[in-house]
A and B are shown apart, each in its own frame.
Chain A
Amino acid sequence: DTAVSQTPKYLVTQMGNDKSIKCEQNLGHDTMYWYKQDSKKFLKIMFSYNNKELIINETVPNRFSPKSPDKAHLNLHINSLELGDSAVYFCASSQANFRDSLLPQYFGPGTRLTVT
């Protein structure tokens, strides 16, 4: 059973389009995340959700919007795609403990987005 799954695995689209990436976790975790990995392999957190509430929001363009229909899902919507959005996007999840310190994060397989 896949713990954290993402779809699609690959996404090729043209500038200006709107696209979504879906993420689901079956671990029963409270918190889910989206990360962006650039061409130099640098990983940067974009968003996290805890119990359907956005708790951090890095300085990403507002063209990116996370949407969480329930605790097991955190989808990423991207409007008006730009060339610079090309990257690998990873979804992750974890279970927060009582001190708000994160327990291990588990990552999905990634979605490689290519904007042409």
Chain B
Amino acid sequence: GIQVEQSPPDLILQEGANSTLRCNFSDSVNNLQWFHQNPWGQLINLFYIPSGTKQNGRLSATTVATERYSLLYISSSQTTDSGVYFCAVLPLDSNNDMRFGAGTRLTVKP
């Protein structure tokens, strides 16, 4: 089956710093999403981005489907950005079977 790899697994930042999270996937996909799981466990849908670039405030994401990767950019990080960021993909040959990466755990220190 498809492999979804996220890097780095852990990231510690000082408040105000910028960061880039990466998601590589091993096969073509129909759908890609980025989620943020906050320290209280809530999963928040950040971007639906099977291709192209999107921006929402301090966050932006780019997916290059032909090269099988996606990037999540966080600018001017805040302590509330802490949590785990998941990339999830829907393989082309899948029947609604979203596959999640292992996540990047981000800690933003004040």
Q: Please tell me if the beta carbons of B95 and A55 are within 8 angstroms of each other in the complex.
A: yes
Complex formed: what's the CA distance from A33 to B45 in Å? 15
By Cβ-Cβ distance, the 9 closest A-B pairs, closest first, are: A104-B48, A107-B43, A101-B30, A43-B100, A48-B96, A102-B31, A110-B41, A56-B95, A104-B45
List A contacts of B37 (CB < 8 A).
41
Given contacts A104-B45, A109-B42, contact A55 B35 (CB under 8 A): no
Taking A102-B90, A104-B48, A109-B42 as given, write out 19 further A-B residue pairs in contact, using a Cβ cutoff of 8 Å, ordered by the A residue number: A31-B96, A40-B102, A41-B102, A41-B105, A42-B100, A42-B102, A43-B86, A44-B100, A48-B96, A48-B97, A55-B96, A58-B97, A100-B95, A101-B30, A102-B31, A103-B48, A107-B35, A110-B41, A110-B42
For chain A, the count of residues having a C-beta within 8 Å of the partner chain is 28
* Alpha-carbon gap, A101 to B91, bound state (A): 9
Question: Nearest residue in B to A96 (C-beta to C-beta)?
Answer: B96
Contacts of A99 in B (CB 8 A): 30
Binding site for A on B (CB under 8 A): 30-31, 33, 35, 37, 41-45, 48, 50, 84, 86, 88, 90, 95-100, 102-103, 105
- Centre residue among A45, A48, A50 by max chain B CB count within 10 A: A45
Judge whether A105 is part of the interface by a CB distance below 8 angstroms: yes
Residues of B within 8 A of A102 (CB): 30-31, 90, 96, 98
Measured in the bound complex, the distance between the Cα atoms of B33 and A104 in whole Å is: 7
